[in-house]
A and B are shown apart, each in its own frame.
Chain A
Amino acid sequence: MKCKRLKTEIVLVLLVFGLLLIPSFSHAVTDSAANMVKDLKVEDIPNDDGSGLLISWIPLPKERRIIEYRLYRGVVPDSLFYIGRIDVNVAAGFSGDRMYYYDTDYNYFLDLQAPGKLKKEKKQSADSPLYGRYPRDIKVTGEQLKNYNILGVIDEKEYFLKSTPVNVITENDTTTYAGLQLKQLRMYKKLLADKEYYYTVIAVSESRKYFPNVKPAVGIPRENPPEKPKTLYAVYLDDAQRLQFEWSLALFSSDHKDHNIYKIHKSKLAQFNAYLEEVALEEQNELDVKEDSTTAVYKVKTENPAQLIFSRYCGYPYTPVKTAAVPIVNNRIVNDEKGIDVVVKPDEIDDYYFVFSFTDYYGNETFSDPVVVSHSASSDLPTLSAFTVEDRPDDKGDYNYLYWEKPVVYLTNATFLNEDKTKLLVNYDVNTNKHFKVKNIYFEVRDEHGNVIRKIDEYYQDKKLNIKIPKELDVTTSPLFFSMSFKCNPDVGDDYTLTQKLVYDPITKSLKPADLFMGNENLNSTDYYVYKRNVGSEEWRLSRKVSSTQRELDDNIKLESTVFKGVSKYDAEKKMFLVSTQVALRYDIDRKFQSFTKLFDSGAKDMEKEINEQIAGYEAKRDSATTDEEREQFTEAIASMRYILDNDIAKELSKLSGKQRRNFLMRVKSNLARSFEYKIVKSDGKGHFTESPVYTTDAPYETAADVKYMVGLEDFGTRYFQPIPNWFKKSMIPALIATLIFGMLVFIMINQAKQGKDLFVRPIAGIQEIDNAIGRATEMGKPILFVPGLSGISDVATLAGLAILGRVAKKSAEYDTRILVPVRDYLVLPIAQEIVKEAHYEAGRPDTYDKGSVFFITDTQFAFVAGVNGVMIREKTATNFYMGMFWAEALLMTETGSTTGAIQIAGTDAVTQIPFFITTCDYTLIGEELYAASAYLAREPLQLGTLKATDYTKMLILIFIILGTLLSSAHLTFLINAFPEK
């Protein structure tokens, strides 16, 4: 009868499941056209480098319950490959009119995770043009390389040490490439300018139905002039006769070449505007000619009246310097390198406009609006003290540490503690650096009449100040004035004071901190821009912009180096993608020349031969040159060619061959890339800035870099800095000492216990009752339930729980009582099984061990609870143990156990669950008692010794807590400061 009822229940359950699943598999018959996205458009992205297209479409209505839109791209309309998707919230739908997808810049093209073979897109008809992603099949994907600009990202070891030389023979010559398998690189693509690309979009419904694709739309990315510079600030320092400029950077800068500044005489502004209009017409005409080659070509006729006074490489791909100081010497601005020699009379400076421009590699130039200078004096510029660069201690060698100036304290917030507004809690923060150890901070609070309200000596900086405000002082109308000074080691000087006001804000009805002042300098109005440059670079790059209240910076320098190479060829036979073997070496600042070499020996020899031939050719031309200018040009060219062969690195490389040479080359490159020089610019963002000199030191720090790889770099350690990997974390010394003391105590106590000394351990009721609880189950003839927590084997609480399981299982085996151990973690399962099995063997009852008594239920939290509760109710367990880590499920289990009448003993270190266990269980092991239980039960000298050592260590900690409290109450903070905060 019971069996029949169960069968009916199962049938009903299956029926309900089946009915619920129907919507998942069924697809309503839908009209194809109605399920296509509408108005698919592909448009060129303005102001970019000719690699961007914007794809947009009108999405399907919310009622279609679309879960994602999938995009496909190809160079012909009948083969379109999956490139990405836009997920949609089914319930909310898409709120806008059109959806947009930006196919711009370098993005994913191919890596090892791509599908092995080319596959048609799912659920498409046989004639569908849609395919999945580009596959790993080199015969398919290799053919696509010519349709894109492909960038290979290669780990340096793969490129330098594991690539294979592959010769590509053409009609004219033979070129050696570095061959790499797909597992050795990742590839990213950019669209090619002026090439047609086809796109289509399909919608996918909630039930994974792929709707039909819309007719592909075509788009051509066009190279555009740079975007218009948004801001330019021009400042003239009358006393220093120096122009200072600051500008905003562009959003798209991948094809930018230079940042330029021009001057225009005010009388020629109209001519300049006419020139700009003609430039705009010419740019539009260039696009029109590309669209229709029969269009007449338009050229700018008006001469640009602007005169170049400054030009600098834009620094792509890094964030470059956005300030420039241009000195006027003898009424001229001169820069030989850039060919600038312009007359600028200081007394006529107001007669000029200044404009800033971005130029790109295609010859386009875009100008900012003209601005006039604002006059200032050197004394108005922000003050900037010297800074220091050091290796950051206690790291793996990936940070340089920069610090500067004296510590800063500033108010961050203020809260009234009562309605009368007479009690105020003020929060503050302190920024210091390695050089200054802050001991005391002295706060003096005054009203607007200068009357002192409160003086506070913060000997322990808890970042809080409690201030009593006199009843007669109305802080809603008169601000509070804070002056803050320090006692530091080393001394910062008595005159070093910071000031800040707390002003009432009627909107939030609270006191708000105003700007922080150091003397007359407003620290909230300026920022520090920390720039760095490595040996192989031409331009400075921004490391970080930090507030001028900061006093230090950790500059991250990655340990791993990556090589970036264009990929345009492949070898289908060898299944390799081919990249250039040319390796850039050091940039020579004096020559403005980048030397290079070839990766493989044969390539290097060929290069040497070619260069020698070129030198001979130049020498012949120089000898036959008719003018001095020509002779000078050839002489320079010969010197540059010789530098490629004669530079220090090339000389060292010529002594090596094969893998040794490539290894040397890799290490030289890596060391150059990780060694930086630094400078700081402090600026208000509007042209008032001060630039520090490049940091150098006479006392170089010891270097981790192998000096033999820093060829010819005499400034290493004094100007160029590379972080050092440390072998010991000094901040962990207190932890190490504590561990050693604890370890020592363990050994002493174990020895004492072994010698027979009776070690007293305080009784714990929960542990003492374990035996009784097992006995109760035996008497009742019912099983014991043991839950070893819900966390994994890496949790120490689980290990402690398993240790107790061993003792309990042995006892239950001795009493021949069944023990049930439900497990949530896969890794805990075999360990628990082994423990219970071994316990039965030790008890001399291997026959009573049932492998099925230790079983896995599920790793889902509440499903596990349901399983455990089911076991309790069905098996009517007499004793329940919960030993280990528990979360919200704890109460669900113990309450069920409580209702079945089982005696329950729990033990956990989860502070939030302890109250629930105490309430619902008969005995609870609180926190550390869980870890002590195993030792209590074993009663072995080794275990008891450890337990006793733990107690003594606790006593030591208590002594330190009490001492620290007493000493710091007496303004002696050396003890608490001796310990790390975390």
Chain B
Amino acid sequence: MKRQIPLIIVITLGFMFVAHTFIPHKASVAFYDWWVSWSKAISPFAVILGIMSLTMVHGTKISRKAPNWQYSALTLFALVFTGASGFIWGTSEGTPFMWLFKNVQMPMGSTMFSLLAFHIASAAYKAFRARSAEATVLLIAAIIVMLGQVPLGMAISKWIPETSSWILNVPNLAAKRGIALGVGLGMTATSLKILLGIERTYLGGGD
């Protein structure tokens, strides 16, 4: 029963939502909107699960005095302080909560994001080493595409921007569409497997 009831719910509602795709009637739209509003109501409860998980993992570390437990203490302090500042002073512009968001979280996020530039350079180096015929083709294509995006490419030859746009619009687009086609079918197949109860791992366990 523990498996069957969720499975029946998934299969029944799944087929109803598939039917909704083909039924534009206002009754179908109202039914869909009603369910979507319920799914929105679930999210706030799930936040509690996240906070509990975070507290449990870091609380355990602190209580066991695991290595670097002080970072866990700092994490929990930040969690409590940020939450409390939002509840006490509100979240509008000019409040401590917003100050923390703008002066702590945003710069830290931007710092992480900016690291991406270095990682891209590193990844590009790995990818463009001409160790095989495929890698050499990749290297040449990359050079043409990059030059085609900047004025220097046009200055070297008018063919570079044209070739660049051809690479992007023909082989690149063809490959992307090929992948998209496979992804679309894969998604449909997975959805169908879930609808028919073939794929049940999301219920916990393999079968």
Contacts and interface: CB of A to CB of B under 8 A. Distances in A.
9 contacts: A10-B73, A728-B22, A729-B24, A742-B185, A746-B189, A802-B201, A863-B109, A892-B119, A946-B198
Given A862-B109, A892-B119, A855 B201 contact: no
Given A829-B50, A839-B206, A926-B179, A949 B126 contact: no
Interface in A380-406: 394-398
A954 B186 CA distance: 10
A396 B31 CA distance: 12
A799 B202 contact: yes
Q: Which 7 pairs of residues, A with B, have the shortest CB-CB distance?
A: A931-B186, A838-B205, A928-B182, A834-B204, A826-B46, A862-B112, A928-B186
Given A725-B25, A796-B191, 8 more contacts: A10-B73, A725-B27, A739-B188, A909-B187, A916-B123, A920-B126, A931-B187, A954-B185
A946 B187 contact: no
B187 A397 contact: no
A346 interface: no
B131 interface: no
Residue of B43, B89, B182, B192 with highest tally of chain A CB at under 10 A: B182
B189 A920 contact: no
A736 interface: yes
Contacts of B116: 888, 891-892
Contact of B74 (A10, A727, A729, A736): A10
Query: Majority SS of interface residues in chain B?
Result: helix
Q: Size range of the interface on B?
A: 35 or more
A953 B185 contact: yes
Interface in B42-65: 42-43, 46-47, 49-51, 53-54, 56-57, 60
B194 interface: yes
A802 B190 CA distance: 12
B109 A943 contact: no
Contacts of A6: 68, 70-71
Interface string A721-747: 000011111001001100100110010
Interface stretch (A203-211, A303-311, A643-651): A203-211
Interface of A: 3, 6-7, 9-10, 13, 17, 20-21, 24-25, 67-68, 87, 204-208, 394-398, 559, 725-729, 732, 735-736, 739, 742-743, 746, 750, 793, 796-797, 799-800, 802-803, 805-807, 810, 823, 826-827, 829-831, 834-835, 837-839, 841-842, 851-852, 855-857, 859-863, 865-866, 874, 888, 891-892, 895, 909, 911, 914-916, 918-920, 926-928, 930-932, 934, 938, 942-943, 946-947, 949-950, 953-954, 957
Contacts of B46: 826-827, 829-830
Contact of B186 (A800, A919, A920): A800
A826 B186 CA distance: 25
Nearest to A951: B185
A829 B112 contact: no
Contacts of A7: 70
Nearest to B51: A856
Contact of B94 (A67, A394, A742): A67
A797 B182 CA distance: 13
Contacts of B126: 919-920
Given A208-B95, A796-B187, A827-B43, A732 B119 contact: no
Interface in B76-102: 89, 92-96, 99
A633 B18 CA distance: 64
A888 B25 contact: no
Contacts of A918: 127
A852 B70 CA distance: 18
B122 interface: yes
Contacts of B21: 729, 732, 735
A797 B189 CA distance: 12
Interface in B136-167: none
Contact of B206 (A742, A826, A831, A838): A838
B50 A930 contact: no
A24 B204 contact: no
A895 B122 contact: yes
Contacts of B123: 891, 895, 916, 919-920
B12 interface: no
B108 to A, nearest CB: 7
